[in-house]
Amino acid sequence: MNQVFEVKGMSCGHCARAVTGAIQEIDPSAKVEVDLAAGSVEVQSARPRVELAEAIREAGYEVAA
């Protein structure tokens, strides 16, 4: 399932790696594409949206509603 999140607080490559790592920690097979300029994260994963959003939050970033 393809899901897109609006994520606030990402500004660099470290941020992109942190978000990607947090998502892949709960779903190692997830495909993650971070667009820093747009402030978005696109995730292909079968995990529930709420779990993916929580992983992003736990990495220290704000997920818009």
Largest CA distance in the chain: 27
The pLDDT tens digits for 46-60 are: 999 999 999 999 999
Domain boundaries in the chain? 2-63
**How does DSSP assign 19-38, residue by residue?**
HHHHHHHH-TT-EEEEETTT
Domain 2-63 has CATH 3.90.1150.10: no
Question: Which pLDDT score, from 0 to 100, does residue 60 have?
Answer: 97
For the chain, what is the radius of gyration of the CA atoms?
Answer: 10
Between strands 40-44 and 31-35, the pairing is antiparallel
The pLDDT tens digits for 3-57 are: 999 999 999 999 999 999 999 999 999 999 999 999 999 999 999 999 999 999 9
| Cα–Cα distance list, 39 to 7, 12, 29, 46, 47 (Å) | 5, 11, 23, 22, 21
